[in-house]
Chain A
Amino acid sequence: MKTKIKFIASGILLVTIMAVLGCTTQNNGSGALSSNVAERAYVAPGEHDEFYAFVSGGFSGQLSVYGLPSGRLFRVIPVFSVDAEKAYGFNEETKPMLETTFGFIPWDDSHHPDISQTNGEIDGRWVFINANNTPRIARISLETFETEEIIEIPNSAGNHSSSFVTENTEYVVAGTRFSVPVPQQDISIDEYKSNFKGAISFIGIDQESGRMNLDFQILMPGFNYDLAHPGRGKSHGWMFFSTYNTEEANTLLEVNASQNDKDFIAAINWKKAEEYIQQGRFREMETAYAHNVYDESTHMATSTIKRTVKVLDPAELPGLVYFLPTPKSPHGCDVDPTGEYIIGSGKLSAALTAHSFTKMLDAIENERFDGEAYGVPILNYDDVVAGVVEQAGLGPLHTEFDTEGNGYTTFFISSEVVKWKVGTWEVVDRKPTYYSVGHLMIPGGNSRKPFGKYLLAMNKITKDRYLPTGPELTQSAQLYDISGEKMELILDFPTVGEPHYAAGAPADLIAPRSKKFYELDDNNHPYSIKNESEARVERDGNVVHIYMSTIRSHFAPDNIEGIKVGDRVYFHVTNLEQDFDVPHGISMIGANTSELLIMPGQTETFVWEPKKVGVWPFYCTDFCSALHQEMQGYVRVSPRNSDIELSWSLDGE
């Protein structure tokens, strides 16, 4: 027995020594274990991520904010869909954000976020994102991480080749996927050819406020405009759009829009467009579109309808647009960091096409055209092509770049990411995705200065990657480390909705400017109160306004009497806190709306139409302090004909 113990003891000792050595090695972060894949995506508790990723919500209509490399979800910013959690589209302040010329719309399909740029580099001021279904562009502040502005796009349908910014955020572009009659009219669908137009919109951005203005539209032939990217560096001043359905089919596009061997990349010279606008060579067209602006000082949005748009006709304006033949229904239309190469991803082909900007200019100068389409000159494929990445994979969709002269392209059909060399067009690496990857994102990958450390692939099919949750599965994203010669898959994480594009930025570009709370002194909401002595209730006929405040942990007032059935009661609630991360919530039993979630220094409003006589409680919905459960109040509701006087109090005063 003794020997046995000795044996066990030395065994344990050995194991312990090994464990100690092992953990020491790990602490130092060197040695064999440091190349561990999990470690590279691991951000320790309390540590911060290196990058922000703004990932489109697809059919959720929102924009998700993740950290990279951890894949942790920080926030879902409501943009085009209502969000009961944040009262977006429910409170009186944000309802106007979702107004359109079709009325209030509670949902959309958000696709392509793009971060504002200065000198071709992302600058972290704003993110823009498009609504695909009812065409709109939104601007989100990266100080508050709130949607500040939404502009509707007239003459457009399926707002897909959007919302891409130019090198100094001069414009955000929005192109139509579905061509439509412009202006809309009651004609037969068979009259598609030559009667349908594709509107490309240039939305000017005020550099101080970020405010958007629909500066002009170019009425293009009735193709489908799929994606776009800006020229940069030498090609600054140009915008490139991929097209498909140059067949102009209006039924069974699956077959009928896949007939042509080549479709086009449209090269639009927007500096030229500006000249034509200055010369007055535009048509002022009557139309209607909503412009919704959230004002941070009043904490309220307003919606106005605008009535005209300047329209340019490329057939009449030489030098404005050229078509670059590109195989085969190109989806992605991506420009490398130097601005020389425009990459067309023919989604029904196996190859990528790289056009040369220099060759394009040369062909234009020498007027080497191969006919025209609706008055727009078509260049010769052989005159503009710089190279082809042959047999790279099946179904190329989208390309981004690193700093080392490599392109990275997603292939939907063959389910992989392929790394290739810009200039020599040779494939240098490929890695599978799980499964059917759509788009990818490298932070800064659509700019002059990419941060080529991580690549985020956003997949369309999830299948067996996670525990099943019934027939509906979350979409899946995958993170690759691209800092080495070979790409390495380091993380899978689920996403919100179905992401299309994403945009990423280094955390230190954004985090230091992130707002902590709203200054109470700057709150110009017409129903705000600055302290509890201003708390009150006012009646105007059957409309009642409650001027209420919150602070840890009580409402003022918290006892209200004299409300009657049939009243329309507005709760205007100001959060008097002036510290980071102290929101308060409020909800009222039976109110036909969401809670409010009020940030420090902010005022929000919900409407309650009491239907039943009685004494009804309201309470704070966001855990605010140890006394949160005590944060509550009562409203007495009397019959319609009651003569009980309006009164309110807190602690009997």
Chain B
Amino acid sequence: MKLTNSTTTLLTLLFSVFLITCNGEANKQTASASDKEVTSAEENPDGIGPVKELILPPTIDEELAQRGGEIFLNKCSACHKTDKRFIGPNPTGILERRTPAWVMNMILNPEEMVQKDPVARQLLIEYNGAPMANQNLTEEEARAVLEYFRTL
């Protein structure tokens, strides 16, 4: 038996109908899982994570900054140096480039940030795919590290 072109077309069509019907549920899931729409930095300069908005007081809290320095040494300095580019970027002057909330979210929610935040994603590429490690800092600890960055 020779299948004509029209038979093949019909078969393909029916098979597609079958696939669509069967995978309706799965398709929906795929759509939500691939929901990695990159929001532009201008639209969302604070990144994605638990910190929605953060306005820093005008003066630096020296005590908080000192504590942040200690946390930075133990949890971050294996990859970030304050005098040079290392595994990851140098945090000196970071608040001239990013918002305080962005810095907090990058520390607290790095997995989602490098996937969805355009700036973080670009940095991951720029730093050869070295992942920003989630060191499981509390929000208070991340805030202290941010205060330390203000002193650099």
| B11, B73, B136 pick with most chain A CB within 10 angstroms | B136
Total count of chain A residues near the partner, CB < 8 A: 35
Q: Which residue of A lies closest to B15 (CB)?
A: A16
Which of these, B1, B21, B74, B134, contacts A4 with CB under 8 Å? Answer: B1
Q: Which residue of B lies closest to A630 (CB)?
A: B128
Given A20-B21, A531-B73, A552-B130, check contact A579 B7 (CB 8 Å): no
Task: Check: B40 CB closer than 8 A to any chain A CB.
Answer: no
Residues of B near A1 (CB, < 8 A) are: 4
Complexed CA–CA distance, A582 and B110 (Å): 14
Complexed CA–CA distance, A532 and B131 (Å): 18
Secondary structure of the A contact surface, majority rule: mixed
Whether B130 pairs with A533 at a CB distance below 8 angstroms is no
Complexed CA–CA distance, A479 and B43 (Å): 55
Given A19-B18, A551-B79, check contact A582 B7 (CB 8 Å): no
Complexed CA–CA distance, A27 and B77 (Å): 51
Interface residues of B in 76-108 (CB under 8 A from A): 77-79, 86-87
Whether A578 pairs with B75 at a CB distance below 8 angstroms is yes
Whether B133 pairs with A582 at a CB distance below 8 angstroms is yes
Residues of A near B77 (CB, < 8 A) are: 531-533
Task: Check: A467 CB closer than 8 A to any chain B CB.
Answer: no
Residues of A near B133 (CB, < 8 A) are: 551-552, 577-579, 582
Task: Check: A321 CB closer than 8 A to any chain B CB.
Answer: no
Task: Check: B55 CB closer than 8 A to any chain A CB.
Answer: no
Complexed CA–CA distance, A290 and B46 (Å): 58
Whether A533 pairs with B73 at a CB distance below 8 angstroms is yes
Residues of A near B6 (CB, < 8 A) are: 5
Residues of A near B7 (CB, < 8 A) are: 5, 8-9
Complexed CA–CA distance, A625 and B11 (Å): 45
Residues of A near B134 (CB, < 8 A) are: 578-579
Q: How far is the CB of A496 from chain B (nearest CB, A)?
A: 33
Given A552-B130, A578-B135, A579-B136, check contact A532 B78 (CB 8 Å): yes
Task: Check: B50 CB closer than 8 A to any chain A CB.
Answer: no
Residues of A near B86 (CB, < 8 A) are: 651
Task: Check: B38 CB closer than 8 A to any chain A CB.
Answer: no
Q: Which residue of B lies closest to A4 (CB)?
A: B1
Given A1-B4, A5-B6, A9-B7, check contact A549 B78 (CB 8 Å): yes
Task: Check: B42 CB closer than 8 A to any chain A CB.
Answer: no
Whether A626 pairs with B131 at a CB distance below 8 angstroms is yes
Interface residues of A in 347-379 (CB under 8 A from B): none
Contact with A along B19-36 (1 / 0, CB 8 A): 001100100000000000
Q: How far is the CB of B107 from chain A (nearest CB, A)?
A: 12
Q: How far is the CB of B50 from chain A (nearest CB, A)?
A: 16
Task: Check: A627 CB closer than 8 A to any chain B CB.
Answer: yes
Residues of B near A552 (CB, < 8 A) are: 79, 130-131, 133
Residues of A near B87 (CB, < 8 A) are: 554
Q: How far is the CB of A72 from chain B (nearest CB, A)?
A: 22
Q: Which residue of B lies closest to A20 (CB)?
A: B21
Task: Check: A553 CB closer than 8 A to any chain B CB.
Answer: yes
Contact with A along B107-148 (1 / 0, CB 8 A): 000000000000000000000111101111000000000000
Q: Which residue of A lies closest to B130 (CB)?
A: A627
Task: Check: A530 CB closer than 8 A to any chain B CB.
Answer: yes
Task: Check: A312 CB closer than 8 A to any chain B CB.
Answer: no
Task: Check: A576 CB closer than 8 A to any chain B CB.
Answer: yes
Residues of A near B41 (CB, < 8 A) are: none
Q: Which residue of A lies closest to B16 (CB)?
A: A16
Q: How far is the CB of A155 from chain B (nearest CB, A)?
A: 48
Complexed CA–CA distance, A24 and B78 (Å): 53
Contact with B along A483-500 (1 / 0, CB 8 A): 000000000000000000
Whether B14 pairs with A626 at a CB distance below 8 angstroms is no
Whether B130 pairs with A625 at a CB distance below 8 angstroms is yes
Complexed CA–CA distance, A556 and B79 (Å): 11
Task: Check: B10 CB closer than 8 A to any chain A CB.
Answer: yes
Residues of B near A651 (CB, < 8 A) are: 86
Q: How far is the CB of B20 from chain A (nearest CB, A)?
A: 10
Task: Check: B54 CB closer than 8 A to any chain A CB.
Answer: no
Residues of B near A578 (CB, < 8 A) are: 75, 133-136
Q: How far is the CB of B125 from chain A (nearest CB, A)?
A: 11
Residues of A near B74 (CB, < 8 A) are: 520-521, 530-531, 576
Residues of A near B14 (CB, < 8 A) are: 12-13, 16
| B1, B15, B18, B78 pick with most chain A CB within 10 angstroms | B78
Task: Check: B17 CB closer than 8 A to any chain A CB.
Answer: yes
Task: Check: A644 CB closer than 8 A to any chain B CB.
Answer: no
Interface residues of A in 512-551 (CB under 8 A from B): 517, 520-521, 530-533, 549, 551
Q: How far is the CB of B13 from chain A (nearest CB, A)?
A: 10
Complexed CA–CA distance, A630 and B83 (Å): 23
Task: Check: A23 CB closer than 8 A to any chain B CB.
Answer: yes
Q: How far is the CB of A533 from chain B (nearest CB, A)?
A: 7
Q: How far is the CB of A653 from chain B (nearest CB, A)?
A: 9
Residues of A near B73 (CB, < 8 A) are: 531, 533
Residues of A near B1 (CB, < 8 A) are: 4
Q: Which residue of B lies closest to A556 (CB)?
A: B78
Complexed CA–CA distance, A8 and B3 (Å): 9
Complexed CA–CA distance, A551 and B10 (Å): 57
- Can you list the 7 inter-chain pairs with the closest CB atoms, starting with the nearest? A626-B129, A551-B78, A578-B135, A23-B22, A579-B134, A531-B74, A578-B136
Can you list 19 residue pairs at the A/B interface with Cβ under 8 Å?
Answer: A5-B6, A5-B7, A8-B7, A9-B10, A12-B14, A16-B14, A16-B17, A20-B21, A24-B21, A520-B75, A530-B74, A533-B77, A551-B79, A552-B131, A553-B130, A578-B75, A582-B133, A625-B131, A626-B129
